[in-house]
Amino acid sequence: MECKAQVQSSFKLSGLTVRLEAAKYLAGLLAPVQEDERQPWIDKIIDHVHSQTLKSNVIEKEVLVAAVKECTNKEAGTTSSADPVTTISAFETPRLTYSVERKKYLGDEVMGRPPPRLLAPAESKALIFADRFAMLHQRTARHDLFDHTKPVTGQAAAKRYQLKAVEFLLGTTNRLDDVIVLGMLTQLSHGAFSLEDPSGVVKVDLSETKFHTGLYTENCFVLAEGWYDDGVFHVMALGFPPAEAAATTRAYFGNVNFFGGGGDTSAKASTMLAELEATNTEAMFVFLSDVWLDVPSVMERLRRLFVGYSSFPPTAIVLCGNFLSCVGEQGYAAKLREHLKLLGELVAEFPQLVAESRLLLVPGPADPGSPNIFPRPPLPPSLTQDLARLVPSAQFLTNPARVQYCTQEIVIFREDIATKLCRNAIHFPETGEVAEHFTKTITCQGHLAPLPLPTVPVHWDHDRALYLYPLPDLVVTADKYEPFAAENLGCKVINPGPFAKHDFSFKTYVPSTRAVEDSQVPAEE
C-alpha cells in the first residue's frame, strides 16, 4: 500500500497521473526492492515515460509495461533490439485492433478476442473487412479534408468535407447531392456494383465515374463522391482513402509497436538504434526474386554475385522463390532440397559472406510447405536442413515477411500482386505508370492484397500480417511484373523482377540514405 502511494505521488509530482491498475502493477514490481533503491527506479521509469509521445498525462498500464522493460534492459546493458536486424514471422504480427470507443489500438486480449486459429470460425471472415474499415475510417476522418475540429485558414475552409454512412443514404427518400461515402466495393451479382460499410449496402452507378489514381478492384475500400436518388448512389468520382505518413500515425498513437519484434515499444523510438543506423553507412540489402536454382545460368550469375560482394558483404541477401523453374513437375520437393544444398555449398565458398551477411529466403507460390494461403510458413526444415548446416546465417522467412533494420521497417511479399491487381481492376487507368498506380493502391489501402479472398486467399485470423499501417519504410513486392521503384509518403515500394527473365537484374537498398539502386550481374566478357 505504501509502495503504491509512493508511485502515485512521484508521478503526480512529475505532472502525470497513473491509473489505479497501472499503479498496482508498478507497486507489485517494486515492493521487493529495498526502500532506498525504490525511488531511483521510479525516477528512471518516469524519465522514460516523459520521453514518449503521449496524448494524455494519464498513464495506462501498457505504457508502464514498456517503460519497465526498456529500463531493465538498459540497466542490464542490453536492449530488446540490440541486434540491428530482426526478422519477424507473419504469424507473430502484433494483434492490435482499433477501439472506436477509446480511439486507440488495443491488444486482442483487451478487446476480448480469442487467440488466432488457422481454421478460424465464420465470424472471423467478417472481422477481416470490419477491421480494415475501422483502420481506414479513423485514418480518413482525421485527415485535413474531413476533420472539422482542426482550425482552418484561407481557402482550406472551402475544402472541408463530411463523411456519410451508407445508412444515411438508405434512410432518406429525398435526393442528396455532393455526398461522400467511405465503403467497400462489392459485386453482389455480375455487373451490378454496390458500396458496403458496417451500416449497410447501397447500389452504385459507375457509368459516369471519374477514377482517380489507383487500381480499383472488388473488395477494395474507396471514397465515393456523387448524388443519391431512388435507391441508387450515382458516383461521379472515385478515389482511395488518403494515405497517412508513418510519422503522422505515430503522432496519434505514440510508440505502439505495430510492426512486431523485440518489445512493446516501436524501434522508431530507440535513440541507440537511430545512432547505429546513421553511423553504419555501409549497410545494404540485396533483393532477388524467382531465383531458379535448377538453371545453370542462374547459379553461375549467383556465383559472380557472391564473388562481387565477398570483399564487402551486404547486411542481408534476400532470395525470393520460386526456387525452381520446373513448377508442377513430379519430385519438386526432392529436387528443391538438392538444389538448396548446392546453394549452401556455393555460399560456403565465401567465408566472409557467411560470417557477415544474412541469407534470407522467402518461399514463392509454387514452393512446397503449405497451401498458397497467406501468410505462408517458411520452407520446411526437411528441405532446408542441408543449407542451414552449411550456412548458419541462413534464415527461412514467412511470406509475407517483416525485417526490422535498426529503426527501419521492411516488408517482403512474394506474390504476383501487381499483376493480379491489374488483371482484376474494374477500370484500368489510361494514363500513368503501373508502378505509381500500384504503389498508391497498397499504401492507401494499408494492405498488401486488397483483392477478393478467392483471388488472394488469406487466413482469416492472420489478415493483419498483410497490413501496411503505419506505412513501413520499404515494401518489396517480388512480382513477375517488370522491375520498378516508386514511393508514396515516404514509403518506398520496389519490385526486383524475376532474376532470370530480366537479364539477371536485382535491387539494392541502402538504409542510411534510403536509396534504391538498380543492379545487374553482367555476363562474362
The CATH number of residue 44's host domain is 1.10.8.60
For residue 319, being part of any structural domain is answered with: yes
Return the percentage of the chain with pLDDT > 90, whole number.
72
Q: Mean pLDDT, to the nearest integer, of 213-236? A: 97
Tell me, yes or no, whether 333 and 223 share the same domain. Answer: no
Tell me, yes or no, whether 130 and 250 share the same domain. Answer: yes
Q: Residue 230, by phi and psi: left (phi above 0), alpha (psi -120 to 50) or beta?
A: left
pLDDT category at 77 given cuts 50, 70, 90 is very low
Which run of H or E residues covers position 318? strand 316-320
Of 502, 326, 473, 500, nearest in space to 410 by CA: 473
For residue 85, being part of any structural domain is answered with: no
- The confidence score (pLDDT) of residue 73 equals 59
For residue 516, being part of any structural domain is answered with: yes
Burial of 515 (0-12, 13-18, 19+ CB in 10 A): exposed
Measured at the alpha carbon of residue 25, what is the angle toward residues 19 and 28, in degrees to the nearest 5?
135
Tell me, yes or no, whether 322 and 206 share the same domain. Answer: no
User: In the chain, how many domains are there?
Assistant: 3
Interatomic CA distance for residues 278 and 224, integer angstroms: 43
For residue 445, being part of any structural domain is answered with: no
Q: Mean pLDDT, to the nearest integer, of 480-499? A: 97
- The confidence score (pLDDT) of residue 80 equals 43
Q: Which of 257-261, 442-446, 508-512, 521-525 has the lowest mean pLDDT?
A: 521-525
| Cβ contact 215:429 at 8 Å | yes
Tell me, yes or no, whether 249 and 260 share the same domain. Answer: no
Which position has the higher pLDDT, 67 or 162?
A: 162
Q: Mean pLDDT, to the nearest integer, of 36-57? A: 75
Eight-state DSSP code of residue 241: P
Tell whether the model's pLDDT for residue 165 goes beyond 60: yes
Last residue of a domain, one of 75, 90, 122: 75
Last residue of a domain, one of 60, 75, 90: 75
Last residue of a domain, one of 226, 255, 284: 255
For residue 443, being part of any structural domain is answered with: no
* DSSP code string of 384-447: HHHHHHH-TTEEE--BSEEEEETTEEEEEEES-HHHHHHHT-SB--SSS-HHHHHHHHHHHHTB
The domain in which residue 195 lies consists of 106-255
Residues contacting residue 441 through CB under 8 Å, at least 6 positions apart: 214, 215, 220, 240, 421, 450
Q: Mean pLDDT, to the nearest integer, of 18-26? A: 79
Tell whether the model's pLDDT for residue 295 goes beyond 80: yes
Tell me, yes or no, whether 292 and 170 share the same domain. Answer: no
Tell me, yes or no, whether 43 and 120 share the same domain. Answer: no
Measured at the alpha carbon of residue 404, what is the angle toward residues 399 and 409, in degrees to the nearest 5?
85
Tell me, yes or no, whether 286 and 241 share the same domain. Answer: no
Tell me, yes or no, whether 288 and 409 share the same domain. Answer: yes
| Strands, E assignment, 431-510 | 474-478, 484-488, 491-495, 505-510
Q: Mean pLDDT, to the nearest integer, of 244-266? A: 90
Tell whether the model's pLDDT for residue 384 goes beyond 60: yes
3-state secondary structure of 202: strand
Per residue in 431-451, pLDDT tens? 999 999 999 999 999 999 999
For residue 84, being part of any structural domain is answered with: no
Angle between helices 2-13 and 35-50 (to 10 degrees): 40
* DSSP code string of 101-138: TTTEEEEHHHHTPPPP-SS--THHHHHHHHHHHHHHHH
For residue 471, being part of any structural domain is answered with: yes
Q: Mean pLDDT, to the nearest integer, of 60-80? A: 64
For residue 97, being part of any structural domain is answered with: no
Tell whether the model's pLDDT for residue 141 goes beyond 70: yes
CATH of the domain at 337: 3.60.21.60
Interatomic CA distance for residues 341 and 22, integer angstroms: 52
Interatomic CA distance for residues 5 and 18, integer angstroms: 11
Tell whether the model's pLDDT for residue 78 goes beyond 70: no
- The confidence score (pLDDT) of residue 58 equals 83
3-state secondary structure of 196: strand
Tell me, yes or no, whether 339 and 371 share the same domain. Answer: yes
Interatomic CA distance for residues 289 and 63, integer angstroms: 40
Tell me, yes or no, whether 238 and 261 share the same domain. Answer: no
**Terminal Cα distance for the chain, rounded:** 79
Interatomic CA distance for residues 366 and 328, integer angstroms: 8
Q: Which of 12-26, 250-264, 397-411 has the lowest mean pLDDT?
A: 12-26
| Cβ contact 465:374 at 8 Å | yes
Burial of 169 (0-12, 13-18, 19+ CB in 10 A): buried
Of 190, 201, 192, 197, nearest in space to 231 by CA: 201
pLDDT category at 81 given cuts 50, 70, 90 is very low
Tell me, yes or no, whether 250 and 352 share the same domain. Answer: no
pLDDT category at 216 given cuts 50, 70, 90 is very high
Interatomic CA distance for residues 478 and 416, integer angstroms: 7
What the block records as the C-alpha cell of 479 is 512480382
Average pLDDT, the chain: 90
Tell me, yes or no, whether 260 and 242 share the same domain. Answer: no
